[in-house]
Amino acid sequence: MLVDNMEIEIIKDKTLELEMIIHGENHSMCNVLRKYLMEDSDVEYAVYGIDHPLTGEPIMTIKTKRTKRPKNSLLKAANRLKDEVAEFKSLVEETMD
C-alpha cells in the first residue's frame, strides 16, 4: 500500500490487531504516531521496533479494544499527525514573513 509516497506493508490484519512495516521511516514519525495511537481510548496498545538502527525498518503493531478496528484508529492518528504538521508549517511560514 502506498500512502503519500510512504509505503506500508501489512504483515498481519486481524479484527483487533494490525501489524505493518513502514518502509523508509524512522523513530521520528513512528514515535509521534505511536503517541497519538496510545491517546485513543479504543487502542489497547501501540508499539513499534526497529531491528537495526542503520538498516532496519519500523514494524508497528496496533491492538484495539472490544470491536474497534485498528485501521480506523491508525487513520485517525495519521490524520491528527497530518493536521498538526500543517499547523506547524503554517506557524513557521508566518514567522518567516
Q: What is the pLDDT of residue 3?
A: 54
List, for residues 45-80, the tens digit of each pLDDT value: 999 999 987 889 999 999 999 989 999 999 999 999
Start-to-end Cα distance in the chain: 38
Over residues 71-97, the mean pLDDT reads: 93
Q: What is the pLDDT of residue 79?
A: 94
Over residues 23-46, the mean pLDDT reads: 95
Strand, helix or coil at 52?
coil
Q: What is the pLDDT of residue 80?
A: 95
What angle, 0 to 180 degrees and rounded to 10, lies between the N-to-C axes of helices 27-38 and 70-96?
120
Over residues 28-54, the mean pLDDT reads: 95
